[in-house]
Amino acid sequence: MPKPLRTALLLAPSAILMGVFLIGLVRLVSSSLMIDGQFDITHYVDILNRPDYVQMLGRTLRTAALTTLFSLLIGFPTAYYVARYKGNRNFLLLLIIFPWLVSIVVRSYGWMVILGPRGLINSFITWTGLVERPLRLMYNDFGVILGLVHVLCPFMIIAILSVLMQIPRSLEEASMSLGGRPAYSFRTVLLPLSLPGILTGITLVYLMATGAIVTPLLLGGLRNTMLGTEIFQEVMHFFNYPKAAALATVLLVTALVVVIPIQIFERWLARRLREGESH
Amino acid sequence: MITRLIALSVLLILPLPIVIVVLSSFTSAGYLSFPIHGVSLRWYGEFLGSADWLRVLGVSAVLALIGAFVSTAASFGAAWAVVRHRMRFGATYETILLTPLIFPHAAIGVIMIVTLSSLGWLGTFTGLVLVHCILTIPYAYRPIVAALRKSDPALEEAAASLGARPWRTFWTVSLPAARPGLVTSFLFSFIISFDEVTVTLFVVGPHVMTLPVQVFSEVLESASPVIAAVSATLVLFTTAIVFVLDRFIGLQFFVERD
């Protein structure tokens, strides 16, 4: 068998799967732009004309941005601690990877048990007598963002950790021994070198937060919808597929507008770091 | 100091909700609460005594097995073409294989509805398999391609020059060298597929349901502790897979860059 034919046969299964996906993507966008076979942007005009939709878009962006920010703020120190840990690092990895691989529906449900009116926190504070009635810890933005950060921050930790493990400790020590203060050596050595991992983490967490359904629905309820939960309701309760397709396209655009520039920057950065190595 | 404080709290809190769910599944009360009121196995009895729940568990397990097998095989083919045949545009092809990762899940869900309804597979098991293969390919590809890049093609050339036929070389030299990558891909895809809920909930139907999606819709509608027992079973599956991954490949794999 000639080699090009063998290559084609090897590629066929994965190419078919990706082809199905990419054709679906094109059909999604085109179905949102068609009404009765005619080009029509009515669905988009409707979305932008409804104040509740505009508000929901704002809530989605705000929630995703806050989730990404908090994941970074707690993810970086955690990754740093694990990367520099001298004892049994495998156990620490287990504490990150095991929860990461447990279904998000189970983890979100776990937060319902913790935050709910008869949950861990409320049982404790009503028992101590600090408050008389249980606090409302979920079905609000607090619950949603807490849940999303918990569900998504392993992506951030793993992305940053994989970069930090490659930065030799000696590099930091060198900068310190040359008289750099910790903050200075963080800014000039650690941060630039770990930037590729940070960018990967930001990309993944932002993407998953904008398109999340399960966590916002379980911890936020049906009232304060986000793009993902709104799409879910259009499909499951109203069977309005063209509207869902238009919302999904809006979701794609809001995600890619942020993600593609980050990806381009990351590639540029990777090239610069590689050039730096060869000097 | 502050780094350590944040890190230790994060490492402590990450497994916390999972531990709470498992503990609360042993309640004897008819409602969900924590701390639990009385210890019993009644909710496990209800779960394992229900034909519906067991059928859904079966669907999830078979789906994850088939999906993981197809994804691993398809990724192996792609990785072989990219690494061993040094195909043109290999890097571009790799980027395409990873695209499902850079799309928000809710959008993938609608894409899958559009795709499956045009194929007539919406709400069918075949449709679920297709969706899960697409979703797991990015996870399955990386371990295999890493294993192939590590293994030395000179070994295959040596086998061939000693007179081994191509198929024999493949079975006795190439495949064993790629085995750690294949096992990782399979286990990784299996657990991603077994746990997937966000995209799957768009494509399940009245006749096919998966365990995580069933848990999700039950949580939305009721607060019965049987959900905790089912969730604990999902956790048990994950524990088993993580255990095997840790033993055979090492968790270090997840934080390595290629």
Q: Which of B103, B196, B231 sits opposite A252 (nearest CB)?
A: B103
- Minimal CA–CA distance to B193: which of B134, B239, B235? B134
In the block, residue with structure tokens 């920010």? A69
Contact B49/A138 with Cβ under 8 angstroms? Answer: no
**Confidence at residue B258, expressed as pLDDT on a 0 to 100 scale:** 58
**Confidence at residue B174, expressed as pLDDT on a 0 to 100 scale:** 82
ipTM, two decimals: 0.91
Percent of chain B whose predicted confidence (pLDDT) is above 70? 99
Q: Which of A7, A166, A244 sits opposite B85 (nearest CB)?
A: A7
Phi-psi region of A221 (alpha: psi -120 to 50; beta: other; left: phi over 0): left
Instruction: Establish whether the linkage from the previous residue to B17 is cis, with ω within 30° of 0.
Output: no
Does pLDDT of A164 surpass 60? yes
Mean pLDDT of the region A117-124: 81
Q: Which CATH number fits domain B35-255: 1.10.3720.10, 3.30.420.10, 2.40.10.480, 3.20.20.140?
A: 1.10.3720.10
Residue A12 lies in a domain: no
Q: Using the beta-carbon criterion (under 8 Å), do A18 and B73 form an inter-chain contact?
A: no
Handedness of CA B64, B117, B98, B73 (dihedral sign): positive
Between these two residues, A167 and A160, which has the higher pLDDT value?
A: A160
**Confidence at residue A223, expressed as pLDDT on a 0 to 100 scale:** 80
Contact A14/B185 with Cβ under 8 angstroms? Answer: no
Range from A77-86, A126-135, A176-185 carrying the lowest mean pLDDT: A176-185
- Kindly list the distances between the CA atom of residue A157 and the CA atoms of A70, A161, A165, A202, in Å, as whole numbers in the listed order: 12, 6, 12, 10
Q: Using the beta-carbon criterion (under 8 Å), do A80 and B251 form an inter-chain contact?
A: no
Residue A7 lies in a domain: no
Tens of pLDDT, residues A54-85: 999 999 999 999 999 999 999 999 999 999 89
Query: What's the rounded Cα separation, in Å, for the pair B14 and B20?
Result: 11
Mean pLDDT of the region B114-133: 94
The 3-state DSSP class for residue B39 equals strand
The 3-state DSSP class for residue A225 equals coil
Q: Using the beta-carbon criterion (under 8 Å), do B107 and A28 form an inter-chain contact?
A: yes
Residue A52 lies in a domain: yes
Does pLDDT of B128 surpass 80? yes
**Confidence at residue A168, expressed as pLDDT on a 0 to 100 scale:** 79
Does pLDDT of A278 surpass 70? no
**Confidence at residue A277, expressed as pLDDT on a 0 to 100 scale:** 66
Does pLDDT of A120 surpass 60? yes
Between these two residues, A166 and A98, which has the higher pLDDT value?
A: A98
* pLDDT grade for A117, boundaries at 50, 70 and 90: confident
**Confidence at residue A41, expressed as pLDDT on a 0 to 100 scale:** 84
Q: Using the beta-carbon criterion (under 8 Å), do B77 and A99 form an inter-chain contact?
A: no
Tens of pLDDT, residues A16-27: 999 999 999 999
For residue A12, list chain B residues with Cβ-Cβ distance below 8 A: 77
**Confidence at residue A279, expressed as pLDDT on a 0 to 100 scale:** 56
Percent of chain B whose predicted confidence (pLDDT) is above 90? 57
Return the half-sphere exposure (C-beta side, CA atoms, 13 A cut-off) of residue B137: 32
**Confidence at residue B151, expressed as pLDDT on a 0 to 100 scale:** 81
Q: How far is CA B17 from the centre of its chain?
A: 20
CATH number of the CATH domain containing A138: 1.10.3720.10
**Confidence at residue B9, expressed as pLDDT on a 0 to 100 scale:** 95
**Confidence at residue B230, expressed as pLDDT on a 0 to 100 scale:** 93
Provide the token pair at B44: 């496990």
Mean pLDDT of the region A96-121: 91
Contact A219/A112 with Cβ under 8 angstroms? Answer: yes
Does pLDDT of A228 surpass 80? yes
For residue B18, list chain A residues with Cβ-Cβ distance below 8 A: 98-99, 102, 106-107, 110
Tens of pLDDT, residues B159-177: 888 888 888 888 888 888 8
Q: Phi/psi of residue A243, each to 5°?
A: -65, -45
Q: Which of B73, B78, B256 sits opposite A11 (nearest CB)?
A: B78
Percent of chain A whose predicted confidence (pLDDT) is above 90? 49
Q: Which of A104, A166, A249 sits opposite B197 (nearest CB)?
A: A104
Does pLDDT of A176 surpass 80? no
**Confidence at residue A170, expressed as pLDDT on a 0 to 100 scale:** 77
Give the residues across from A62 on adjacent strands.
none
**Confidence at residue A60, expressed as pLDDT on a 0 to 100 scale:** 94
**Confidence at residue B101, expressed as pLDDT on a 0 to 100 scale:** 86
Range from A157-161, B35-39, B86-90 carrying the lowest mean pLDDT: B35-39
For residue B21, list chain A residues with Cβ-Cβ distance below 8 A: 106, 109-110, 113
Tens of pLDDT, residues B112-121: 999 999 999 9
Handedness of CA A233, A238, A241, A242 (dihedral sign): negative
For residue A257, list chain B residues with Cβ-Cβ distance below 8 A: none
The tally of domains found in chain A comes to 1
Domain carrying residue A253: 39-278
